[in-house]
Amino acid sequence: MQKGEQLYEGKAKKVFLTENPDVLIVSYKDDATAFNGQKKGTIVGKGAINNRMTNHLFQIIEEEGVPTHYVQELNDRETAVRRVEIVPLEVIVRNIAAGSFSKRLGVPEGQELSEPTIEFSYKNDKLGDPLINSYFARALKLATPSEIETIKKYAFMVNDILKIEYLKAGLQLVDFKIEFGRFHGKIILADEISPDTCRLWDVESGEKMDKDRFRRDLGNVEEAYIEVARRMGITIGEE
């Protein structure tokens, strides 16, 4: 597959055209940002880890009935994906109170929720990705009612799958952010699933094994990403 002109560069990825108008190539970067881009840095090797972990999980998720944009892994950092129109909603599923949820609602971090919750944020960096609900999304024509219901259904299915997969690696899935896109009118899972987008705590020690180590200056960020990949059987450097 030929990598063509660069179409877009975001905080964590570059996107390139290919000879197929329905397929793009995503290239993962080591750049790290937090707090809507206010904090910037580098996590050495995370691009390769996030690429391989996303592809590993997306294939499992697809087998379990949730369609994804995954087409083919090309190398450590690059993957061919279906060209979607991103739905401008960040979808956050929470199993345990942490981060902004704890701050907003005064719930102690680490408190298990009686059932998984779902949040929507309007995907808009200039506005700081404000929290909205499904009524906002419909009123602003960000998604149709049927698309929102499909997104909710898929998000909770993904949660069930990820909890099992991470638990096999001795990790507790606290919460995660995902995005969806339209491909020929159909809602499919897009973007990535990685320690950048998931809060992962070690089951035994409770140690944070995700991007919170970067956000909160906890140190050993690269080591945490490498350990998560190792536990999940993901190897880097094999084409």
* Residue 227 counted as domain residue: no
Is the domain of 89 the same as that of 67? Answer: no
132-156 b/e (C-beta count within 10 Å ≥ 16 → b): bebeebeeeebbeeebbebbeebbe
Distances (CA, A) of 94 to 7, 98, 127, 130: 32, 8, 23, 17
The one-letter code for the residue type at 178 is I
Whether the Cβ atoms of residue 79 and residue 193 lie closer than 8 Å to each other: no
Whether the Cβ atoms of residue 29 and residue 38 lie closer than 8 Å to each other: no
Q: Angle at Cα 17 formed by Cα 14 and Cα 22, nearest 5°?
A: 120
Whether the Cβ atoms of residue 19 and residue 3 lie closer than 8 Å to each other: no
Is the domain of 76 the same as that of 91? Answer: no
Pairing of strands 186-190, 171-183: antiparallel
* Residue among 196, 195, 175, 178 nearest 187 (CA): 178
* Residue 27 counted as domain residue: yes
Whether the Cβ atoms of residue 10 and residue 191 lie closer than 8 Å to each other: no
CATH number (domain holding residue 41): 3.30.200.20
User: The tokens of 156 are what?
Assistant: 């909770």
pLDDT at 38: 59
Q: Select from 82, 105, 128 the last residue of a domain.
A: 82
CATH number (domain holding residue 115): 3.30.470.20
pLDDT at 11: 86
State how far the Cα of 196 lies from the Cα of 11, in Å rounded to an integer: 11
Whether the Cβ atoms of residue 213 and residue 221 lie closer than 8 Å to each other: yes
Using the 8-state DSSP alphabet, how is residue 125 labeled? G
* Residue 1 counted as domain residue: no
The mean pLDDT values, 10 residues at a time, for the chain of 239 residues are 91 95 96 66 83 97 98 96 98 97 96 98 94 97 98 98 97 98 98 95 95 84 92 79
User: What is the crossing angle of helices 46-63 and 221-231, to 10°?
Assistant: 30
pLDDT at 16: 97
- Structural domain for 16, as ranges: 6-82
Structural domains in the chain (count): 2
State how far the Cα of 25 lies from the Cα of 42, in Å rounded to an integer: 22
State how far the Cα of 47 lies from the Cα of 28, in Å rounded to an integer: 5
* Residue 236 counted as domain residue: no
* Residue among 193, 232, 173, 189 nearest 55 (CA): 193
pLDDT at 239: 45
Q: Select from 82, 97, 113 the last residue of a domain.
A: 82
State how far the Cα of 200 lies from the Cα of 174, in Å rounded to an integer: 6
